[in-house]
Amino acid sequence: MNHLKKIENMAHFMRRKILDISFQSSHAAHLGGGLSMVEVLATLYSHILNFDVDNPRWEQRDRFILSKGHGVLGYFSALLAAGFINEEKYATYLTNESDLIAHPVMNLDLGIESSNGSLGQGLAMGIGIAYSAKKNKNLNYRAYVFLGDGECNEGSVWEAVMLAPQLKLDNLIAIVDYNKLQSDQTPSSDIINFGNLAAKFEAFGWDVYDVDGHNIAQLVDALESKHDAGKPKMIVANTIKGKGVSFMENNNEWHHNVLTKSKYALALAELEG
Amino acid sequence: MWSRLGPRAVFGQAALSAGEKNPNLMMLSADLGDSSGLARFRNAFPDRFINTGIAEQNMVGVAAGLAKEGHNVFATSFAPFITLRSGEQVRMNLGYMELNVKAVAIGSGVSMAFLGNSHYGLEDLAVMRSIPNITIVCPADCAEIVKVVHAAAEFTGPMYIRLTGAVGNPAVYTEEYDFQIGKSITVREGTDITIFSIGSMVYESLEAAKVLDSLGVSSKVVNMHTLKPCDYDAIDQAISSSKAIISVEEHSVVGGLGSAIAEYKTQFSKSPAQLILGLPDKFGKTAEYRFLLEKYRLVGEKIAIDIQKFLKKL
């Protein structure tokens, strides 16, 4: 099986797992933003990131930070598919005192590098991680940070955007899930209009790729392309919030909602065709 | 010798010597490296110093990433910027994730003088004390700054280091002594009352104790350099042996050392009365440092007078 097919299969598996756990937990969850991240995360965990599930603290592992911390449905399903989390652990999602709640809680043994939930903090941490690898000649891991587009309203994101090129961190890769919807029921462009987000990052000195965030071949190309020496890489992944379930797509009622039995059946029938 | 340099220059010197001993130590500044005395550290270890630009939130986040990968990182700025501007980064990275970052406030209290309330550290202890997992240390004089920086360089875990005082800071210690994080130091023995003080107020409390002596009140003075974890043994001793407990701090009377002692004391049905001396809960007018300490009655003689008044009412 070629790697594109493998990634595609993983993405399909993740979507199924997202729907299953959302229904089973019976709690409201960030479904829309979880589903928009699936291809990016499948590409990373199936093909790009260096890691060893049997040795999750391996020094040379690539570090992945989920800066848009509410994207756990995408994240945990990727960790399940990759083997960091088993089915039993996955089933504890949103149960009392579980390791798997609505935002990541740092747990290296589960492959979770940092605690998140407060937006606008992950890219700064990514800079520190990438700088550490640069400073230590024996280490050559990369730092990957996944942000939301709504998250980019936070001023602290732009503090980090300014610093990373200054430090010439060409081992830092940021990805923005540009799904163009955030919490309120209006298009993001009515709240803060980023317009050409890619051009903005480029102006700050990043090596920028503007891609279809559901097109695996494009994602692979962007992630595998050789780094511009001295420049951090930014991938603007143009995505659809709720991708894969037609009644959720671009419908912000699914930003944070409960998946009822009937809706679950509907979504599943569509996914499994 | 240290006192003539002032707290910032001493901090810079201590950072340099601690950096020589500890290769994993890094210094971050949000464009206040020179003001923080870090120019020599930057020159000695260029790849271990980062000026993040005027961006304190980012500085704390970068520090956290470096700490995650094995560095012991000092992130330095003025008190309100490191504790309040970047407060949530501190809460997530130092508190929640317990990453090995030392947040350092250069010139807390009212030592920034004419720079005004925007630069004062009035409520930093209250803020930092309420976040779980963060050790809080405030050196009493310049010699103790050196000890604290070296202790912090060997210490794994999040910490807030609060520097108070100005150039010409009086010395509390004349002899070598043992400094341990979390263990208060009795700097003067006394039998009637116990004065707990912190940072710049340790010296003033010793001065107050001299005045009180002449008024017939024997005062024990305790340097509570570590506010958290609090040295409850020292408070227990004061509860069982003192007629009154006094706390003195160059910080708002809300939420600092006085509050920490009072919170602990309330569980005992019999405990001595407490007088909390510190900065008033307000944004006052701006003036020279010594002028403000005089105005807010945080100098030895005035501390003594206020303690005497308090004792008379008991």
Q: Which of B56, B123, B144, B250 is catalytic?
A: B56
Judged against a pLDDT cut of 80, whether residue B36 lies above it is answered with yes
Question: Alpha carbon B266 to chain centroid distance?
Answer: 24
**Domain at B2-162: CATH architecture:** 3-Layer(aba) Sandwich (3.40)
Judged against a pLDDT cut of 90, whether residue B62 lies above it is answered with yes
CA atoms of A197 and A208, how far apart (whole Å): 10
- Best probe of the A interface among B69, B91, B93, B133, by most A CBs < 10 A, is B69
* Structural domain spans, chain B: 2-162, 185-313
Stretch B140-145: mean pLDDT: 96
Asked if the B185-313 domain carries CATH number 3.40.50.920, the reply is yes
For position B40, what pLDDT does the model report? 95
**Confidence bin at B3 (pLDDT 50/70/90):** low
- Residues of A within 8 A of B93 (CB-CB) are 121, 125
For chain A, give the number of residues: 273
Lowest mean pLDDT among A224-228, A249-253, B181-185, B198-202: A224-228
With the C-alpha atoms ordered A70, A76, A77, A81, is the resulting torsion angle positive or negative?
positive
Strand partners, B50: B28
Nearest alpha carbon to residue A38 among A197, A179, A170, A142: A179
- Out of B62, B70, B96, closest to residue A124 by CB: B62
For chain B, give the number of residues: 314
- Out of A106, A121, A166, closest to residue B61 by CB: A121
- Out of A115, A130, A163, closest to residue B58 by CB: A163
At A144, give phi and psi (nearest 5°).
-115, 130
Stretch B98-117: mean pLDDT: 96
Q: Does B57 sit within 8 Å of A129, measured CB to CB?
A: no
Q: For chain A, positions 165-204, list CB contacts with chain B under 8 A.
A: 166-167
For position B4, what pLDDT does the model report? 62
Instruction: Give the list of residues 6+ apart from residue A100 with CB closer than 8 angstroms, or none.
Output: A72, A76, A85, A89, A90, A92, A93, A94
| Burial class of residue B161 in the structure, from the number of CB atoms within 10 Å of its CB (0-12 exposed, 13-18 middle, 19+ buried) | buried
First to last CA, chain B: 42
Residues above pLDDT 90, as percent of chain B? 95
Helix B201-214 to helix B300-313 angle (10° resolution) is: 60
Provide the ipTM. 0.94
At B304, give phi and psi (nearest 5°).
-60, -45
Q: Does A127 sit within 8 Å of B65, measured CB to CB?
A: yes
Q: Does A155 sit within 8 Å of B65, measured CB to CB?
A: no
How many beta-carbon pairs below 8 A join chains A and B? 92
Superfamily per CATH, domain A3-272: Thiamin diphosphate (ThDP)-binding fold, Pyr/PP domains (3.40.50.970)
Per-residue pLDDT of chain A (273 residues), as tens digits, is: 799 999 999 999 999 999 999 999 999 999 999 999 999 999 999 999 999 999 999 999 999 999 999 999 999 999 999 999 999 999 999 999 999 999 999 999 999 999 999 999 999 999 999 999 999 989 999 999 999 999 999 999 999 999 999 999 999 999 999 999 999 878 999 999 999 999 999 999 999 999 999 999 999 999 999 888 899 999 999 999 999 999 999 999 999 999 999 999 999 999 998
Q: Does A162 sit within 8 Å of B55, measured CB to CB?
A: yes
- Is B301 marked active-site? no
Three-state DSSP state, B223: strand
Q: Check CB contact of A121 with chain B, cutoff 8 Å.
A: yes
- Nearest residue in chain B measured CA to CA from A61: B69
For position B1, what pLDDT does the model report? 56
- Out of B66, B70, B97, closest to residue A131 by CB: B66
Element containing residue B152 per DSSP (H, E) = helix B142-154
- Residues of A within 8 A of B62 (CB-CB) are 124-125, 127-128, 131, 160, 163
Give how far A204 is from chain B: nearest CA, Å.
14
Residues in chain B whose Cβ is within 8 Å of chain A: 47-48, 50, 52-53, 55, 57-71, 73, 88-89, 91-93, 96-97
Evaluate whether B2-162 and B185-313 have a shared fold: yes
